[in-house]
Amino acid sequence: MSLAVTLGVLAVAAVLLALASYGARRPRDLGELPLMPYGAIQFLALVAIIVMLAHLVTLLTGHPLVGRLGR
């Protein structure tokens, strides 16, 4: 993935996280259920942001990130 694609996916995930946070905090009438699972959307957006940030570090430094076990 190129730098432009990585930054684009990162931006889309950040906007999606912001919209899901707004939707989760929006007041609703008593007994009205939300149309989308905002918590799940926030979780998936955060996972995408973390993965894209790790990929961005890899792109900028030229070295892949290595886990604790060195694999």
Tens digits of per-residue pLDDT, 5-64?
A: 999 999 999 999 999 999 999 888 888 888 889 999 999 999 999 999 999 999 999 888
Torsion of CA 39, 11, 54, 46, to 10 degrees: 0
**Count of H helices and E strands in the chain?**
2, 0
Please tell me the distance from the alpha carbon of residue 42 to that of residue 52, in angstroms, as a whole number. Answer: 15
> What is the largest distance, in Å, between two alpha-carbon atoms of the chain?
53
pLDDT computed for residue 32 by the predictor: 87
Structure tokens at 50: 């973390």
pLDDT computed for residue 69 by the predictor: 81
**What's the predicted TM-score (pTM) here?**
0.83
